[in-house]
Structure 1
Amino acid sequence: MKQEKKYLRIDLAPRLMQRLLGRKVWIAFAIVLLSAAACPVAEAQFSGPALGIDTQVNPPLTITTDPAILFPSKRDIYLGDGDLISVHLFANADYAPTVRVGLDGVIQLPLIGNVQVQGLTLNQAQDLIADKLKAAEMFRDPQVSIQIMESPNQVCTVIGELHGVVPILGERRLFDVLAAVGGGSGGGIGVTTIVVGGGGLPSTASHIITINRYGAAQPIVVDLGTDPAKSAMANIPIFPRDTIVVPRVGVVYMLGAFKTQGAIPLQQNSPITLMKVTALAGGNLFEGSSGDLRIIRTTGLTRQVVRVDLKRIIRGQDPDPVLQAEDIVFLPTNPMKAAISSGGVSTLLGIASILILAIQQR
């Protein structure tokens, strides 16, 4: 009996240790969870809300047609912070200070002190300095001229599908700016480069661009068009501080049993149809269920699924549907065709033998 009790104690000791260790592990795990919940460092970062399904992509814009806005007769240069200017007085070589516009838009000139020139044109700044010299009774009728020595503001910015900064001295034409930035190839299927006025636009770029002009109340919307004979109407002048926005054109998504899956940009010069995007995707594969092709279109929060027969469309028996931006073309896979395609001739012979055997047993 003593030996049995001894063995019993030896067997129970490891079990008790395991239970105690197990409790300690669970307690430690609970402490870690509570500390993580109470500690603000454990909170996940969030980069911001995603666009909702009802968000409008490339909303329609009103094309600017007013010649006075598109082709202004004259536009002066605006002064801004960082500009290095030289001030001169006619017939007075002694007064020729060279100063830089501060971050607050102020320059400090001899005899008159601080002068706010931020956002003023050259003519306005010249008149303001002349008035201050005259008010200080330093000169009777000063003739002031300002020369810009160097300036970080004499540039235009291109953003969107094209992006870059182009220096502007006076004015440049829109096509010159686009050519200076340079085009590239987009990331879609059947990528081509659209040549406009000597500059390249990627296939994902829209031909309707927006120009935010400094000092203008409304943005300028220009349609580059697709007819080279009419491109002169879109080649408008670009001035310093203009921002050119080249938006992205809509795409159609190819999904399923196509040779190449992905996004196909909409063409600018003609509507894109189902047969066109099928050709750009390399055609449908053998295992695709051509009689059950689906066009998925989302309008706001409503999703519509239209089933069409691709074979009948190719034969001309059904009309070729015109696709819209953000449409999804889905071609499901036929299981039998997929098995044949993956297995090859051996699978086909096996299916044939099974069919023969089933016929013989009848």
Structure 2
Amino acid sequence: MKAFSSYVMQLTQMPTKIVLCLLTLILFTPAQAAEVASLNYRLAPGDAIRINVFQQPDLTLDTRISENGSITYPLIGSLQLGGETLAAAEQQIAAGLRQGKYVKDPQVTITLLEIRGNQVSVLGQVSRPGRFPLDTQKTRLSDVLAMAGGVTASGSDIVVVSGIREGRPFHKEVDFPSIFSQGERNENILVAGGDVIFVDKAPVYYIYGEVQRPGVYRVERNMTVQQALAQGGGISLRGTDNGIKVYRKDAKGDVELKESELYDPVRADDVIYIRESLF
């Protein structure tokens, strides 16, 4: 008992923020602590919640938020809670009870029982496209792509995330490989319920004429014409690297014919033609 009193005395001498952090670590498991820290969580369709009103056990309700974001609560009726924080939802219920004169000074507490409405859609060039639940409020882009089996070989490096943040449209293009290769960890963003994650096809170029393996190939980062030729197996014995022709679309979609050098960059949808040597 004496040791515990000494510990409490030490706590009282610490700054308030440090004390709160310590209490969070002591009283909660890591998963629970993460939930407590996520005070800005917004309710979504499918979430299961428990509503308690202090000293009013008859008003305790376990319910699930409907597809349109509403619940039906005793005495008040329909309430729109989808998109609200827990605190805002508590205030909304308290206001309804107070204005209806059902409870003089209601103290409402909402507990999040299950985050089920929090699903994201993963579309495009992934192994298992579909909808996936967010089991926690700290799910990152890499976690969701792993659920979908990862990006396929034909998938782009750019991953597009669209959704709603704080009531406003959200759109972000993430250079996914750079998260790991260049340490851009801030780009590994947190995803939210309702997000749509899209992986487009990787850009390609076409090569034909006097090359070993004419065909369609992926445009790699900072790729040059020389590297593009190497992917095609190199120039054949009958070909020449003099006067390499590149057919390229301009901003209007018109095709332009360009004479290209070996170290010129390759762009998406380029058509590279290697002509036959005259000698």
Q: Which of 262, 272, 278 is 1:329 aligned to? A: 272
In 1, Cα distance between equivalents of 2:248 and 2:194: 40
> 1:132/1:237 Cα in 2 relative to 1: closer, same or farther (>3 Å)?
same
Whether contact under 8 Å (1:210, 1:246) holds in the other structure is no
Q: Does 2:153 correspond to 1:186?
A: yes
- Kindly provide the CA deviation profile for residues 16-59 of structure 1, in whole angstroms up to 9, marking residues without a partner as x: xxxxxxxxxxxxxxxxxxxxxxxxxxxxxxxxxxxxxxxxxxxx
Residue among 75, 85, 107 paired with 1:143: 107
The answer (yes or no) to whether the contact 2:91–2:108 under 8 Å persists in 1 is yes
* Alignment match, 1:356: none
Cα distance between partner residues in 2 of 1:104 and 1:167: 18
- Gaps in structure 2 of 5+ consecutive residues: 1-36
- CA deviation vs aligned residue, 1:143-198 (integer Å, no higher than 9, x gap): 212234445421222233334433222221222222332324424xxxxxxxxxxx
Match of 2:228 in 1: 277
Counterpart of 1:296? 247
The structure where helix makes up a greater share of residues is 1
Taking the aligned partners of 1:81 and 1:182, their CA distance within structure 2 comes to: 26
**What secondary structure, in the 3-state scheme, does the structure 2 residue paired with 1:213 have?**
strand
Deviation at 1:128, TM superposition (A): 0.7
Residue 290 of structure 1: CA displacement? 5.1
Work out the CA distance in 2 between the residues paired with 1:331 and 1:75.
61
| Residue 115 of structure 1, aligned match among 79, 90, 104 | 79
Residue from 174, 197, 203 that aligns with 1:222: 174
Aligned-partner Cα distance in 1 for 2:145–2:232: 30
* Displacement of 1:227: 6.3
Change (3 A) 1:227 1:92: closer
Secondary structure of the corresponding residue to residue 259 of structure 1: coil
2 CA distance for matches of 1:125 and 1:103?
A: 17
Residue in structure 2 matched with residue 213 of structure 1 by the alignment: 164
RMSD, matched Cα: 3.1
Query: For residue 20 of structure 2, what is the aligned residue in structure 1?
Result: none
The answer to whether the 8 A contact 1:86-1:149 is kept is yes
Structure 2: distance between partners of 1:226 and 1:101: 35
2:119 and 2:218 map into 1 onto residues whose CA distance is: 31
Distance in 2 (alpha carbons) for counterparts of 1:302 and 1:217: 33
CA distance in 2, matches of 1:87, 1:137: 18
- Counterpart residue number, 1:240: 193
> Which residue of structure 1 aligns with residue 97 of structure 2?
133
Q: Which residue of 2 aligns with 1:252?
A: 205
Counterpart amino acid of residue 242 in structure 1: D
| 1:3 match | none
- Do the aligned residues in 2 keep the contact of 1:171 with 1:240 (CA within 8 Å)? no
Query: TM-score scaled to structure 1, two decimals?
Result: 0.56
Instruction: Provide closer, same or farther for how the CA distance between residues 137 and 227 of structure 1 changes in structure 2, counting only shifts above 3 A.
Output: closer
* 1:157 counterpart residue number: 121
Distance 2:168 2:43 in 1: 16
The one-letter code of the counterpart of 1:182 is G
The 1:171–1:276 alpha-carbon spacing in structure 2 relative to 1, beyond 3 Å, is same
Task: From the two aligned structures, give the one with the greater strand fraction.
Answer: 2
C-alpha displacement of 1:104: 4.1
* Residue 130 of structure 1: how far off its partner (Å): 0.9
Change in Cα spacing, 1:237 to 1:119, as seen in structure 2 (3 Å) is: closer
Q: Output the CA distance in 1 between the equivalents of 2:244 and 2:162.
A: 41
Identical aligned residues as a percent: 25
TM-score norm. by structure 2 comes to 0.71
Distance 1:274 1:246 in 2: 26
The higher radius of gyration belongs to: 1
Partner Cα distance (2:142, 2:229) in 1: 33
Q: Residues 87 and 170 from structure 1, CA distance in 2 versus in 1: closer, same or farther, beyond 3 angstroms?
A: same
What pairs with 1:81-100 in structure 2 (closer than 5 Å)?
81-100=45-64
3-state SS of paired residue (1:237): coil
Report the Cα distance in structure 2 between the residues aligned to 1:101 and 1:223, rounded to whole angstroms.
35
Structure 1 106/167 Cα, relative in aligned 2: closer, same or farther at 3 Å? Answer: closer
| 2:10 alignment counterpart | none
- CA 1:81/1:209 → structure 2, altered by over 3 Å: closer, same or farther? closer
CA contact (8 A) 2:228 2:266 kept: no
Distance, in Å, in 2 between the alignment partners of 1:174 and 1:218 is 14
